[in-house]
Amino acid sequence: MMTEGQIHDAFRQALWITVEMSLPLLAVALAAGLVIGLMQALTSIQEMTLTFVPKLGAMMAVFWLTMGGMTAALVGFFDEAILPLVAGG
């Protein structure tokens, strides 16, 4: 039987894994948005697709590069935290 503390600890670990996995994507989206916004301000070009397409491309590239680490983090969390709780250990 799982105790309330074990459940809270598993949720805390899950939230931390989520933050670690989303941080690279959010950082790239922020950086790309700032660079594109600066370029738009300097050139006075106000095109909506100019902000969306490069930001999406950068995020997809970073996701592709970090996908292995994200998968390893999720598998490790499942093996180390969730399976022992389910097995009753």
Which pLDDT band holds residue 45 (cuts at 50, 70, 90)?
confident
Residue 4 lies in a domain: no
Using alpha carbons only, what angle is made at residue 64 by residues 61 and 66, rounded to the nearest 5 degrees? Answer: 110
Residue 1 lies in a domain: no
Residue 46 lies in a domain: yes
Residue 80 lies in a domain: yes
Tell me the per-residue pLDDT of 70-80, one tens digit each, with 9 for 90 and over.
Answer: 999 999 999 99
pLDDT at site 89: 58
Residue 3 lies in a domain: no
The total domain count for the chain is: 1
Residue 75 lies in a domain: yes
Residue 2 lies in a domain: no
Residue 6 lies in a domain: no
Q: Is the dihedral of CA 37, 42, 46, 50 positive or negative?
A: negative
DSSP of 28-71: HHHHHHHHHHHHHHHHT---HHHHHHHHHHHHHHHHHHHHHHHH
Question: Domain span at residue 48?
Answer: 13-87
Segment 9-26 mean pLDDT: 95
Provide the whole-model pTM.
0.79
**Mean pLDDT in the chain?**
92
